[in-house]
Structure 1
Amino acid sequence: MFIQIYFYCWYGQDIVLKSIEISVSYYLTNWYNAYSSNVRTYLFLFMERSKRPLVLRAGGVFPLTLSTLMSILRSSYSYMAVLQRLNKK
């Protein structure tokens, strides 16, 4: 089960990073020197949209990133430690 969650979070993080790179690559195209005003307008709109990175969400609530994976691991370890402690008593 951990492997499945790991892959979802890994690729979710990859999508976030790639969407940030797209924003930078739009700016580096010298969009302001484009021949057509339509091209300039579309590139400007794409740049504005890409200011907010694309984030995959589990159930529309939790972002699928590596920080989410780490919080899942911390929580599950804490729960396991509590249950082991209760089981010893």
Structure 2
Amino acid sequence: MLTGASELLIYCKYCDDVISESERVQQALYGSGWAAQGGPFSRGVLIMMARAQRPLCLRAAHVHPVSLQTFTKVLNASYTVFTLMRQIKD
């Protein structure tokens, strides 16, 4: 069980890092001095900033986002089931 939880923690930690880095993309684009460039470059940067408004998020089964919050929820649910099964056994 500990091995599975640690493996899940690693996945969730890296996915959380991807989410936080993708949130910084829009700020980096805005601070790049794109307005002075003009032309197609500015248009491309505006398109990228529009896309970057929604952070990149990896999802489990294309439904639930994977993050450290997900890891916490899974651990809480696992512990709840464990204690319930233990009470039923006793």
Corresponding position of 2:60: 58
Q: 1:50, 1:7 → 2: CA distance? A: 25
Unmatched 5+ residue regions in structure 1?
A: none
Corresponding position of 1:38: 40
Corresponding position of 1:87: 89
Unmatched 5+ residue regions in structure 2?
A: none
Whether 1:2 aligns to 2:5 is yes
What is the Cα deviation at residue 61 of structure 1? 1.4
Q: 1:37, 1:65 → 2: CA distance? A: 38
AA paired with 1:23?
A: Q
TM-score using structure 1 length: 0.93
Q: 2:8, 2:63 → 1: CA distance? A: 15
AA paired with 1:64?
A: V
Q: 2:63, 2:12 → 1: CA distance? A: 14
State the number of aligned residues: 87
CA offset digits 1:7-66 (Å, max 9, x no partner): 1111110000000011110011121111x4100000010000000000001111121100
TM-score using structure 2 length: 0.92
Helix, strand or coil: the match of 1:46? helix
Whether 1:27 aligns to 2:36 is no
Corresponding position of 2:78: 76
Q: 2:30, 2:49 → 1: CA distance? A: 7
